[in-house]
Chain A
Amino acid sequence: MSYKPEEIIETIHMTEVEHLDIRTVTLGVSLRDCSSPDPKELLERIKEKLLRKGENHVATVETISSEFGIPIANKRIAVTPISIVADGHDPATFVKVCEMLDYCAGEIGVDYLGGYSALVQKGMTIGDKNLIDTIPDALAATARVCSSVNVASTKAGINMDAVALMGRIIKELASKTHEAIGCCKLVTFANCVEDNPFIAGAFHGISEPETVINVGISGPGVVLNAVKQAGQCEFGILAEVIKRTAFKVTRMGEMVGRKASERMGVPFGIVDISLAPTPAEGDSVGSILEAFGLERCGTHGTIAALMLLNDAVKKGGLMASSYVGGMSGAFIPVSEDAGMIAAVEAGALSLEKLEAMTSVCSVGLDMIAVPGDTPAESISGIIADQAAIGISNHKTTAVRIMPVPGKMVGQSAEYGGLLGTAPIMPVSMFSSASFISRGGRIPAPASGINN
């Protein structure tokens, strides 16, 4: 037989029992040719192009999912940062563009569309400023559009004016949406990537082609099972087990990406090999770390465990795909990961520990709920800290934080679905206000000047 029975049984086990799935197939669409000085024309062009390019996306991905028996959790769209497409327009038009994106996402049938974004690590154009200022109104008025703002890079340093502004914007957005759910759709980045397929940080970078297919894998459940089966082995063997599993998971992502590319006639971009957890039982990065032997995620040893996991996933995934890209590191979104939620509720995992964990994995402080009375300057301070970790380590970091109005430590915010349940975490009681009010730009680190 061309396949060994154990290979066939292993594959069936991975798809049927361990819930191997693909987290997202994201279609990137350039909107750079949709610019127009006339607001009506701008909206019409965006609508026409998105509906034309996206019309087969959902149906094609669903056919692939059904044909190959691999669940594909999400179909998504990423567009050129709107601050570029709509530059020169007034704030009201920016909000209309966001509403048009929301309408198109609904028509195409995707749950989220990313790209209400601006790249301001060095400074802001008028368009960038208008976009950021309109984020609270735009995200409060729409359901499917996600926004991201890049405020720092290893080459440019940290734009502290933008960091200060984002603290205020996040507070304003929180006050305009129920339980601050709008903040779940907003990411503040350092060193953002242009081909990230994952929401909320996805956008279609300015160096990307007209259209592109990017795939994000999932797979914490499969890795967790492999780690449990490996038993109390030494770390070299543990890393090997994870590498082998990551290879197989990534191969599924590669296959889905290539099939979607072929059937839609769209170039294949990358497979993002981030382990993306969901609130479902067993689909948790926190649980993997606990299966390594930690009593609770967050205790001493957690950073070493996360580093091993992240590195082994990369080593396995890199071999499995021709083009690995995007974020490609373990995600640790608290509210979306049952193991992380339990660890926070048990008092094992704090904001400070999560900050330290972000120095060895990809995404930064993700889906963190904090008290509603957290000052904007403290949120800016959290963003600045994450940006500093990112630009000093040549990696992406981000902050997706929800200051939930009226809620305090001990309570939680219920978002449901993939967004999960966010326990409110304490922040420092000491002020960062005077530091943040300095303004200006923190210069690029010496390690960024590497030519």
Chain B
Amino acid sequence: MPLSDYEIEKITEIVAGRVGEKLDGKALRQIVDRVVDGMQAERGNPDIKGATCEVSAPSSEVRPNVAVKDTLDPLVAGQGGLYDQIEKTDATRVIIAAFGQNRPGVVASISGVLAEENCSIEDISQTLMQEFFSMIMVVNMSDCKLDFAGLRDKIQTFEAQLGMKVYVMHEDIFRYMHRI
């Protein structure tokens, strides 16, 4: 669609607001596509208030101080509103659980990797029922040198050595399933 200078300026403002510091080519292209699609959709309806009316203004009219309210997709998480409040969490925590025959060095092996990768153990619980051992850790990986998959894979390499089943799972699974 043909765009006026004013519209291009507004698109850029919206895109910059969304991308912040995490700019990469693919994300930028996706966001620009969506902003343009949204404008195109809203353009067809002059009754829509907000961004549309401002964007539809003649290009000669300069209104630098008008705040652009990004109302294009209120349901997309990460754009403010109720969902962000619900979603807002320290999403960098993982749950590590190990189950199996008791043997020395289980906690040491796992916590060794965590220390090496700069993760902190926020909580730990372990129980021993006869020979059966279970351990659950809540780990903060905010400063971890690896990403989630990297940390999981590294910890799970101990499975064979320890003869135990080790699960590394994102905290969000437990939060969604057990908390409202």
Contact = CB atoms under 8 A, between A and B. Distances in A.
A371 B159 CA distance: 52
A251 B148 CA distance: 21
A254 B174 contact: no
A439 to B, nearest CB: 39
Contacts of A264: 30
Interface string B29-57: 01101100110010000000000000000
Interface string B123-140: 101010000001010100
B77 A258 contact: yes
Interface residues of B, number: 35
A1 B169 contact: no
A322 B83 CA distance: 10
A401 interface: no
Contacts of B24: none
Interface residues of A, number: 35
A248 interface: yes
B76 A8 contact: no
Nearest to A249: B177
A427 interface: no
Contacts of B169: 11-12, 15, 68-69
Interface stretch (A89-97, A137-145, A265-273): A265-273
Contacts of B149: 66-67
A1 B136 contact: yes
Contacts, number: 90
Interface string B158-180: 00000000010110111011100
Contacts of A261: 75-77
A209 B134 CA distance: 48
Nearest to B93: A2
Given A1-B138, A52-B33, A68-B172, A268 B75 contact: yes
A254 B169 CA distance: 17
Given A5-B136, A66-B149, A69-B170, A267 B178 contact: no
A262 interface: yes
B138 A2 contact: yes
Given A5-B136, A16-B167, A265-B34, A252 B176 contact: yes
Interface of A: 1-3, 5, 7-9, 11-12, 15-16, 52, 56, 66-70, 209-210, 248, 251-252, 254-255, 258-259, 261-262, 264-268, 322
Interface of B: 26-27, 30-31, 33-34, 37-38, 41, 73, 75-78, 83, 87, 95, 97, 123, 125, 127, 134, 136, 138, 148-149, 167, 169-170, 172-174, 176-178
Q: List 4 tightest A-B contacts by C-beta distance, closest first.
A: A262-B77, A255-B176, A251-B176, A1-B123
